[in-house]
Structure 1
Amino acid sequence: MTKASSGTKNPSGRAGVRIVVAGDGGTGKSCLIITGASDMFPGQVPPVLPPTRLPVDFYPDRVPITIIDTPSRSEDNDKVAEDLKQADAVVLTYACDQPQTLDRLSTFWLPKLRQLEVRVPVIVVGCKLDLRDENQQVSLEQVMSPIMQQFREIETCIECSAYKHIQVAEVFYYAQKAVLHPTAPLFDQETQTLKPRCVRALKRIFILCDHDRDGALSDAELNDFQVKCFSAPLQPSEIVGVKRVVQEKLPEGVNERGLTLTGFLFLHALFIEKGRLETTWTVLRKFGYNNDIKLSDDVVVPSSLRRVPDQSVELTNKAVEFLKEIFDLFDSDRDGALRPRELEELFSTAPESPFIDAPYKDAAERNAFGGLSLDGFLSEWALMTLLDPTFSMENLIYIGYPADLLKAIRVTRKRRTNRKKQISERNVFQCFVFGPKKSGKSALLDSFLGRPFPDAYTSTTDERYAVNAVELPGGTKKTLVLREIPEDGVTKLLSSKEALAACDVAVFVHDSSDESSWKRATELLVEVAGHGEDTGFEVPCLIVAAKDDLDAFPLAIQNSTRVSQDMGVEAPIHISSKLGDFNNLFRKIVSAAEHAHLSIPETEAGRTRKHYNRLVNRSLMFVGVGAAVAIVGLAAYRVYASRKASSG
């Protein structure tokens, strides 16, 4: 593997690089810029230079550079701060003949960058090298090592002389290179190792290039890789040389079949240590990675993935079959579950496992060893595709989905259309779970995932999800997503017009032994139903009487019957999470979602509005009929009058 040639196009896709030069007055900022741009030392220098632009072909990467000079007067501090905030890279100068300006880097300039939250590469430049006292010769490494240990944002240190034309062009080359080929995402300077995300990306690239899947890159595969990334083949002697370098330093990096993954990673670490970051970046970018070592949006997002708020996204059968194969492949102990280490290995070619953070962490059923069953694994993917289709597609690519992404997902029919047709063709349903505090919402979600009933109450402050497969009569399975809405979060949720657009069915849970819990659940039901009527996103609703193992409050049956009849929904479904008695609740939720038209509640305000609309429509109809009669009558009169005139 070799560096890209100097004739290559801009590999980063950047429109340009903005380099801001800052430092104490008199350290040589302006002379450095003028000499770097014109290759001539200036006779006279203005206090501050205007922006200086270097042509696109000034350096091999062919990216235009704009260099910003900064004033040194204290009254211009705000202007300097604004320039620094807009920088892609910062060049900090000190004068080699003025030691105090070097001290100011660590006491003023570098802390100032942190204070301004300027998180870009920093190039430290010692100017006026020709004026340094020859009796005080100290190596640059000795001088800068303590500062670089304290300020890891320093990318490179270099000394130069504009007057003597020593290493001036290199200053802006290193600054540009630090932007286009940054070290931080790839390499940990403290441990001198590749960063985990870089390792995972290179592992995926290695697997993609290992066409025969034998765990090593043969000479032919190495050559194909070289041509893809650098548009130039490797000579046989170069391939031998590459493998010899690896084998001398790392014997396990090469075997009889070729270069192993260990050897492939070692080579990239070696390139980076030797300052050849552009080699690794060229490889990453050829395979679609951006500066965050993630696949760029144009690789992941199909342009045709558009949907309205009441449409959702699901995996296709083709994608589900692929995931089943992946599950079997990584279930190494054949216990029917992916344990944490197996799951980590499955996602070892992704930037990180998508299931380790909320909302996916703990959203699916796991066994005693933390393993995901096949249903749990597919449920997590269904949830990810529902909530973040782009993230789901991205992870499908990371784990090796071979086909067109548009064949992996499908956009469902609108919910309004489903209601009109009185049937839904979806495979994944989202249920919003409402209810007052201590009503049993969290216990319901835990039970859905097969978790034991908790001994102590814990208040839920954030939304959480539980997802699982629900087997229906006839053996078919649907995926149900329960989304718990904390009582304190209802107002915020309903502040959006499209709040219920993603909801297939809503459940209202109350503590059947507590009358105040029932009243609050009823209030929430009216509030949510009213929001649906106002916005056009009506949802089917079910009432759940939890804690059925406790004695019901007086008048419970009478009150619940009245509300159910008034709003046109089913009577409350009684369950006990503590006893594990759910009265087929989850099947009933799926059924209500599939046949939404049967369970949509109606509020008093909604009935009044409908009654008014009927009256208006009826009045318009009467007006229409009356007008028609009048027109017919007028026409008849005219005919009559005409005949009478002609007869006379």
Structure 2
Amino acid sequence: MAKSSNPEGKPGVRIVVAGDRGTGKSSLIVTAAAETFPTNVLRLLPPTRLPEDFYPDRVPITIIDTSANPEDRGKLAEELKRADALVLTYACDQPETLNRLSTYWLPELRQLEVKVPVIVVGCKLDLRDDQQQVSLEQVMSPIMQQFREIETCIECSAYKHIQIPEVFYYAQKAVLHPTGPLFDQESQTLKPRCVRALKRIFILCDHDRDGALSDAELNDFQVKCFNAPLQPSEIVGVKRVVQDKMVEGVNERGLTLTGFLFLHALFIEKGRLETTWTVLRKFGYNNDIKLSDDLIPHSSVKRAPDQSVELTNEAIEYLRGIYELFDGDLDNNLRPVEVEDVFSTAPDSPWNDVPYKDAAEKTALGGLSLDAFLSEWALMTLLDPARSLENLIYIGYPGDPSSAIRVTKRRRLDRKKQQSERNVFQCFVFGPANAGKSVLINSFLGRPYSDTYSPTIDDRYAVNVVELPGGIKKTLVLREIPEDGVAKLLSSKDSLAVCDIAVFVHDSSDESSWKRATELLVDVAGHGEDTGYEVPCLIVAAKDDLDSFPTAIQDSTRVSQDMGIEAPIPISSKLSDFNNIFRRIVNAAEHPHLSIPETEAGRSRKQYHRLINRSLMFVSGTLIVWHPTTVSFLMHSELQVLETWFAVDVQTLQLTAPWPCFSWRINVQAFGKSETILLLELPWPLSDWQLIVYMLQGRMPPIKDEDSPISYTLNM
């Protein structure tokens, strides 16, 4: 099979040559570049370049010579860290230099955290004592067992031109076609991630989905990867090689997945890694055996802080089909092994780690129902849209990946519209320690009640489907915020942008729990007012099976009325009485203009802005107020109110206008903010021609109020 040129489009490979003094480093480099042994060689060579046509992959090589002198140790370390590959030399006639590989050089590389392929090269092969002949494998096997970073070992002679080009060919090959990601040298098997990638490629090439590559499909694969067809005799030969070693590798329909994997293991064992790498790269894989970033449409997930990402109906229907395909017994229970099989063509199963692990409801048999399966996908799409897209591609999503997701409208627009059309809502769950947050979340996932208290250390996610009246289904994501994590969360301006609704849980039998919950409510509400990301809020009175503290009713009534939100919702997880809490959470999230708490500071701020921004009718002696965002009118009496409330600095200016005009510039300090307001006193009445001139001069454009012939309202 043909080899690809310049894999991954690398501009060049940087190979650093290191080793003890006198082991033949410089002679090795000169002989490789000039194809002649040097009679005199510099102590330290300048960078040496091998042209791109030197080896078949057509990638230029830069070779860096190094000094082993103690005074050059800093420079050596710097070069080692910049290397793509390392040639580590010893002298065949100096056994002590071989010992130094494992006692000094290889440990030093680990100390410096140099993680590149290492080619061990025995130089001066022509000088080795014939009486000390030992096989290279016998000498190097123990060292290679200890230091897995060693890719290849080779012996050479610059003087006799023995295997000199091969040294740098193997070094370049180790960079362009590394063994490590593909093959486990110890077990002599393909690595799991390589198997997963090859399985995906096999499935993509198995167009008729019969579990085998027919002769036509095998030929299409060959043309796609190597730009050359297979002759019929070659196809027969390939299948015969597989069948001779592995009967199950071929059946009456063609080459099976088992046979396909065997072929690649055979290529690697025979040193033809470039064949497998060519296949992987042709299907978009990088050196980490993951799809390259340019195959993931990252631009389709760009969004404002208060927008979210959801799966489209097209993607959901595809995932329904995937569920049915892998739920072999059709019992609406995708067992853990079947979930693993769904992601067997991805580098890893994305749901094995937090926040996805144990985030969905499990069936009685420990599997996932269809709703739970789709909920996990909804959670991944919400939290990490790019990863969700990536995994859709891995499991074979057939359409344009960007058609699988949609970006929702901004929440502030939903609030103006007084309705949210989102299908997935994220709810932040706040509350003091031992208030019942975790129990609430466990009940959301259908897990039994437990009296055992286990504090939540990190944020925890839970996701499930909530059925609304009329059979409508919405996906709800609960994010539990530990009490000591609230300050960190609110330190970010956009932290509430992703939140559709917040719930504040308290222990209804504990007054201190109530007080702490209301403190958190005020903190969160204040943060929303300051940043513009206000969220609907509900208070949940947990442990309703216990007696409430004495002033619970009065306190909760006062807070609800003062902040303008619903009274606390009582629930008892112990009695399984949840008062439709999850449906109520979704309902509140669907109406983002309601249930928004108002703090005292926020209320005063609104009064201030209402005063500044009010529009009044023109009457004699009225002052016109202008500031950067609004135009309104201010009566003399209201100016006195401003002077009473705030520190006001007034400057009087004479302005030039089509009519006599006076101006005051007022600096107002309020609520930690400063505003400059321009006040104009105009004679009354203004004729229509004066108003027209007023507009043409680019001043505050007036609009006649149709309700009154002698009044005007100005708008920006």
**Shorter chain as normaliser: what TM range?**
over 0.9
Aligned equivalent of 2:483, options 487, 501, 519: 487
Aligned equivalent of 1:132, options 124, 128, 131: 128
- What's the counterpart of residue 406 of structure 2? 410
3-state SS, counterpart of residue 358 of structure 2: coil
Of structures 1 and 2, the one with the larger relative CO (CA 8 A, separation 6+) is: 1
Aligned equivalent of 1:541, options 537, 540, 555: 537
1:528 deviation in Å? 0.7
Instruction: Give yes or no for the alignment of 1:612 onto 2:664.
Output: no
TM-score normalised over the length of structure 1: 0.95
Partners of 2:300 and 2:334 in 1: how far apart?
Answer: 34
Contact 1:302 1:405 in 2 (8 A): no
Instruction: Give yes or no for the alignment of 1:630 onto 2:682.
Output: yes
Aligned in 2, Cα 1:571/1:129: closer, same or farther, shift over 3 Å? same
1:519-561 superposed Cα distances (whole Å, 9 cap, x missing partner): 1111111111111111111111111110101110110111111
- What's the counterpart of residue 327 of structure 1? 323
Specify the code of the residue in structure 1 equivalent to 2:463: V
Moved more, 347-356 or 418-427: 347-356
- What's the counterpart of residue 377 of structure 2? 381
Contact 2:301 2:385 in 1 (8 A): no
- What's the counterpart of residue 157 of structure 1? 153
1:443-464 superposed Cα distances (whole Å, 9 cap, x missing partner): 0100000000123111110111
1:63 deviation in Å? 1.7
Matches within 5 A, 1:470-619: 470-618=466-614
Partners of 1:495 and 1:505 in 2: how far apart?
Answer: 19
Matches within 5 A, 1:36-185: 36-185=32-181
Among all aligned residue pairs of Structure 1 and Structure 2, give the percentage whose two residues are the same amino acid: 78
- What's the counterpart of residue 237 of structure 1? 233
Contact 2:301 2:309 in 1 (8 A): no
- What's the counterpart of residue 17 of structure 1? 13
Partners of 2:12 and 2:74 in 1: how far apart?
Answer: 24
Specify the code of the residue in structure 2 equivalent to 1:258: G
Specify the code of the residue in structure 2 equivalent to 1:16: G
Partners of 1:130 and 1:629 in 2: how far apart?
Answer: 104
Partners of 1:158 and 1:251 in 2: how far apart?
Answer: 36
Specify the code of the residue in structure 2 equivalent to 1:29: K
Partners of 2:257 and 2:554 in 1: how far apart?
Answer: 70
Contact 1:3 1:276 in 2 (8 A): no
- What's the counterpart of residue 699 of structure 2? none
1:53 deviation in Å? 2.1
- What's the counterpart of residue 628 of structure 2? none
1:9 deviation in Å? 2.9
- What's the counterpart of residue 641 of structure 1? none
- What's the counterpart of residue 350 of structure 1? 346
Specify the code of the residue in structure 1 equivalent to 2:125: L
3-state SS, counterpart of residue 548 of structure 2: coil
1:88 deviation in Å? 1.3
1:60-83 superposed Cα distances (whole Å, 9 cap, x missing partner): 112222211111110111221121
- What's the counterpart of residue 642 of structure 1? none
1:629 deviation in Å? 6.0
Partners of 1:89 and 1:576 in 2: how far apart?
Answer: 63
Partners of 2:569 and 2:300 in 1: how far apart?
Answer: 42
- What's the counterpart of residue 435 of structure 1? 431
Partners of 2:217 and 2:126 in 1: how far apart?
Answer: 51
Deviation beyond 4 Å, 4+ runs, structure 1: 623-629, 631-636
Partners of 1:154 and 1:182 in 2: how far apart?
Answer: 11
Aligned equivalent of 2:335, options 336, 339, 360: 339
Contact 2:333 2:365 in 1 (8 A): no
Higher Cα radius of gyration: 2
Contact 1:346 1:399 in 2 (8 A): yes
Count of paired positions = 633
Contact 1:423 1:595 in 2 (8 A): yes
Specify the code of the residue in structure 2 equivalent to 1:377: F
Partners of 2:57 and 2:118 in 1: how far apart?
Answer: 19
3-state SS, counterpart of residue 355 of structure 1: helix
- What's the counterpart of residue 309 of structure 1? 305
3-state SS, counterpart of residue 88 of structure 2: strand
3-state SS, counterpart of residue 52 of structure 2: coil
Partners of 1:410 and 1:418 in 2: how far apart?
Answer: 16
Specify the code of the residue in structure 2 equivalent to 1:132: R
Contact 2:249 2:257 in 1 (8 A): yes
Matches within 5 A, 1:150-229: 150-229=146-225
Contact 2:249 2:258 in 1 (8 A): yes
3-state SS, counterpart of residue 543 of structure 1: strand
Partners of 1:617 and 1:160 in 2: how far apart?
Answer: 86
1:330-350 superposed Cα distances (whole Å, 9 cap, x missing partner): 111111110111111221111
Partners of 1:118 and 1:404 in 2: how far apart?
Answer: 40
1:377 deviation in Å? 0.3
TM-score normalised over the length of structure 2: 0.86
Matches within 5 A, 1:250-261: 250-261=246-257
1:44 deviation in Å? 2.4
Instruction: Give yes or no for the alignment of 1:422 onto 2:422.
Output: no
1:624 deviation in Å? 9.8
1:623 deviation in Å? 5.5
1:34 deviation in Å? 1.7
Partners of 2:440 and 2:386 in 1: how far apart?
Answer: 30
Gaps of 5+ in 2: 615-622, 626-631, 637-660, 663-679, 691-716
Contact 2:297 2:402 in 1 (8 A): no
Partners of 1:520 and 1:323 in 2: how far apart?
Answer: 43
Matches within 5 A, 1:250-329: 250-329=246-325
Aligned in 2, Cα 1:35/1:611: closer, same or farther, shift over 3 Å? same
3-state SS, counterpart of residue 342 of structure 1: helix
1:632 deviation in Å? 5.0
1:302 deviation in Å? 4.4
- What's the counterpart of residue 366 of structure 2? 370
1:33 deviation in Å? 1.4
1:634 deviation in Å? 9.1
- What's the counterpart of residue 620 of structure 2? none
Aligned in 2, Cα 1:573/1:63: closer, same or farther, shift over 3 Å? same
Specify the code of the residue in structure 2 equivalent to 1:572: P
What RMSD in Å do the two structures reach over aligned CA positions?
1.7
1:33-91 superposed Cα distances (whole Å, 9 cap, x missing partner): 12212222223222222222222222111222221111111011122112111211111
Contact 1:202 1:265 in 2 (8 A): yes
Contact 2:301 2:386 in 1 (8 A): no
1:602 deviation in Å? 0.9
1:177 deviation in Å? 0.6
Contact 1:338 1:373 in 2 (8 A): yes
Contact 1:14 1:63 in 2 (8 A): yes
Partners of 1:496 and 1:148 in 2: how far apart?
Answer: 49
Specify the code of the residue in structure 2 equivalent to 1:456: T
